[in-house]
A and B are shown apart, each in its own frame.
Chain A
Amino acid sequence: MKEDSLLEMRGIYKSFPGVKALQNVDFTLRKGEIHALMGENGAGKSTLIKVLTGVHVKDEGVISLQGKGEVHIHSPQDAQKNGISTVYQEITLCPNLSVAENIYIARGKGGLVSWRSMNKKAQELLDSLGIDVKANQQLASCSIAVQQMVAIARAVDMDCSVLILDEPTSSLDESEVEKLFVLMRQLKERGVGIIFVTHFLDQVYAVCDRITVLRDGQLVGEYEIESLPRIQLVSKMLGKDLDDMADIKGESLPTGDPNSTPVYEAEGLASVEGIGPYNFEIRAGEVNGFTGLLGSGRSESVRAIFGADRVTGGKVKIDGKSVKITKPRQAMAHGIAYLPEDRKRDGIVGDLSVRDNIILALQVKTGFFKPFSKAKATEFADEYIKLLDIKTASVNTPIKSLSGGNQQKVILARWLLTHPKYLILDEPTRGIDVGTKTDIQKLVLKLASEGMCVTFISSETDEMLRTCSRLLVMRDRKLVGELTGDQLTQAAVMNTIAGGEKNAEQQ
């Protein structure tokens, strides 16, 4: 074992029935470094983390820790005893307890607790880490970001030397992510080794020192961050050259015919969520997008279009004809499709099969008394499984057992099956692997070229700049700007979001 390494994993093997999840994987974590673990979905990141945290037991291989030599980790408790702590994407704390209670829960020696000293100790810990929260505050009243930091504080206080952050930033907005990074850097100064699992390339380059890339359960390599430009990282994760990505960039952006009648047109649209009133239109063949910080109202804007939230005002025209859309059903009848932001909550019907999930929207559109036969439904499902390259064991597999990217494709299939005129995609690429992200962007452009119009929302601005010909910028639930043509640059978007251009204000 090298002197400066905190953790070494050598020759790790792990298989599940039918899958070789890890094959001869090495991983080294040094003292005081932030180490990104990258790979597409199914590359083996989660399995490696789970082997390290004792959720899975490795088939073969050696895990050694600094000062301890080889260790055997058979349960999460073993991992914790060895100073390995994990903070997951989903908060695993108790929201109804206070911050201090959450930090010290299940760690007391006996039944007696001194609340005052516990609160005091917790406050000192939080202050030392620069987390701006009161120890006696109820956890549920803190933002997700603070909750995550409390989870980290808890881990740190348990004398952890290895901290694993599994997709901690997925539900945070940019300023919150920045705060998290400050905390991560501080821990790094203290000599903690951090393993950072994320899908966001920007974040990797903002905070990490090294990157280990996995692909198909095998180690691709370990790299210093400076020696691996972004484009190469992506190509290593995908295992192919990046002509694909370049393809997208080269094409001219789909604007549609500016003289045609808008497919969808809204005047003074407002919803119960405090959106608007705002004006909006989209033409056949056009791809546009809403951008803004998390919580700026970009999702709520499209939800108003689809009638997902109660609409409180506005005139809507489809193909130039006045219509009323107050319910998703009506929007669907007019050929609008909406892929929601929160896949788990609003998108999938978890226990149901891939087939049922694919036909759901079309079945509702077709009607209660005209059910598809099982054969017909299977035919539909098979067609789209093939078209979108959905990886599933069969059409009968429950959708919840698919990977995130494939779940997203199933929901996309559901809406494409209804042959919409206007497709709304709210964060279709969140939390899914790079390969699928590229697939989805390409698909959007292809659909537009076939005459569909698409509204595309993503928290990754460069993704939107690659696909949208018009960006509507939201701030504090108001439409504050509209960017087209030459204005479509990262800088201009940031500027508008930040409020630089006052004159871009909508009437």
Chain B
Amino acid sequence: MPNNSKVQPPKAPLWARLTKHQIIIPIAALLALALFNLIADPSFFKITLNETSNGNKVLSGNIISIIDSGSELAILALGMTLVTAASGGQDISVGAAIAISGSVMLRVLCGSDSHSATLQAPIIVALLIACLVSMAFGAFNGALVAFFKIQPMVATLILFTAGRSIAAWINNNELPIVNDESFGYFGNYIPGIPIPTPFLIAIVCFIVTWLFMKFTSISLYVQSVGVNEKTSRLNGLNPEFIKLMTYVLLGLCVAIAAFIKVSRISTINYSVIAKDIEMDAILAVALGGNALSGGKFSMSSSVLGAYVIQFLTTTLYKFEVKATALPAYKAVVVILLVVLSAPTVREKLARLGKKLKKSKPAGQAA
């Protein structure tokens, strides 16, 4: 910045600024999980270059598995953060919406023959149509919330309940299988690239989101509407439209997540695909330290929150926790994280820290 040397207060050290920012919560959780694994079994972090059955050299290891399987969740967390911030509520229909979106994609790709040998339409067309459908459903949710002022959870309960049946109906209750190999690239690996494609797609999504936030006022508008709708209206904003927009954007995230999901297995199971992902997406937002009642948000914190959840899941799998018992273990850790990151607890901890510092000022590092 040119000649801006006047009243700028000296910047606090990075660490001090970081501890005040909400991003400290997911970072601390990631570090804690990493530390735990490091002590329990350092081989957790081993990454190897393996050859797959079709002669493709790819990276593998727990960390790779985390960044791979966390992709859908991280992408959903982007949209969920906006929805939460603007409307002070959450969309619980994203799992069902993924089923719809995936179903639409397969319908377009396979046409009327659910086992057709060749693609009936280019993948990009299928993706675009799925995006449109998904955004339309997002708009439906958004309209209920913005114009009819229905509680977001109640409004999205409708699609949550109906979504998976709609998905099945789109393909006449058949389970189409895509036989084209290239479709599988997006949920697995592109030949010659050792990094899982879902992670690459997620990175592209992060960059696009970052650019979108940098080159538009969405962050200010969404936060303003989330904090004070009346004021926002009097400052020329259209709160209803902004809320609607966040749901439509979440719809877009849903379509991309669905794309990865169906590409992973080249088919779909309506009742299982992305099951319970809505709760994880909401949790990612909460773990990122964002208020679920809306208002201020930090996108990067939510994304890290998503990877915390995936890290946790993978760790539990690693320790051979049974799939059926997994949610219970997860719940324990999540309770711990959420309680520790609650504002009241953080405040108390901060005060405790101060007291400790006061009582032995000599020995403590500042």
Contacts and interface: CB of A to CB of B under 8 A. Distances in A.
Interface of A: 306, 308, 327-329, 332, 338, 340, 345-352, 356, 359-361, 363-365, 367-371, 375, 382, 394, 414
Nearest to A353: B296
What 5 A-B pairs come out closest when comparing CB atoms?
Answer: A329-B236, A364-B236, A371-B217, A351-B227, A349-B227
- Range of interface residues on B (Cβ < 8 Å): 20 to 34
B338 interface: no
B230 A345 contact: yes
B7 A382 contact: yes
Contact of B235 (A361, A368, A370): A361
Given A363-B217, A363-B220, A329 B230 contact: no
Contact of A364 (B4, B9, B237, B295): B237
A203 to B, nearest CB: 29
Nearest to A338: B234
A328 B224 contact: no
Contacts of A332: 235-236
Q: Which of B227, B228, B236 gathers most chain A CB within 10 Å?
A: B236
Interface string B197-231: 00000000000000000111110110110011011
A264 to B, nearest CB: 17
A347 B231 contact: yes
A308 B216 contact: no
A368 B231 contact: no
Contact of A394 (B9, B214, B216, B236): B9
30 contacts: A306-B234, A328-B234, A328-B236, A340-B231, A345-B228, A346-B230, A346-B231, A347-B231, A349-B224, A349-B227, A349-B231, A350-B227, A351-B227, A352-B220, A352-B223, A352-B224, A352-B296, A356-B220, A356-B224, A360-B220, A360-B224, A360-B235, A361-B236, A364-B221, A368-B221, A369-B215, A369-B216, A371-B215, A371-B216, A375-B4
Contacts of B220: 352, 356, 359-360, 363, 371
Contacts of B215: 369, 371
Nearest to B225: A349
A336 to B, nearest CB: 11
A238 B127 CA distance: 68
Contacts of B228: 345, 348-350
Contacts of A345: 228, 230-231
Contacts of A369: 215-217
Contacts of B224: 349, 352, 356, 360
Contacts of B1: 375
B227 A352 contact: yes
A308 B236 contact: no
Contacts, number: 79
A369 B237 CA distance: 14
Contacts of A363: 217, 220
Interface string B9-34: 10000000000000000000000000
B346 interface: no
Contacts of A347: 231, 234
Nearest to A367: B217
A303 B224 CA distance: 21
Contacts of B214: 371
B227 A365 contact: no
A368 B227 contact: no
A349 B236 contact: no
A413 to B, nearest CB: 13
B296 A346 contact: no
- Count chain B CB atoms within 10 A of each CB in A340, A360, A365 and give the residue with the most: A360
B233 interface: yes
B48 interface: no
Contacts of A328: 233-236
A340 B234 contact: yes
Contacts of A340: 231, 234
Given A329-B238, A364-B236, A348 B217 contact: no
A356 B232 CA distance: 12
Contacts of B221: 364, 368
A414 B228 CA distance: 16
A349 B233 CA distance: 11
Given A350-B228, A356-B220, A364-B237, 14 more contacts: A308-B233, A327-B236, A328-B233, A328-B235, A328-B236, A329-B237, A348-B231, A350-B227, A351-B223, A351-B296, A352-B223, A352-B227, A365-B236, A368-B221
Contacts of B231: 340, 345-349
Contacts of B9: 394
A344 to B, nearest CB: 9
Contacts of A365: 236
Counting chain B CB atoms within 10 Å of each CB, the highest count among A306, A345, A349, A364 belongs to A349
B246 to A, nearest CB: 14
B90 to A, nearest CB: 19
A324 to B, nearest CB: 15
B170 to A, nearest CB: 34
A340 B231 CA distance: 9
Given A369-B215, A371-B217, A382-B7, A364 B235 contact: yes
A424 B174 CA distance: 64
A55 to B, nearest CB: 17
A144 to B, nearest CB: 19
Contact of A368 (B218, B234, B296): B218
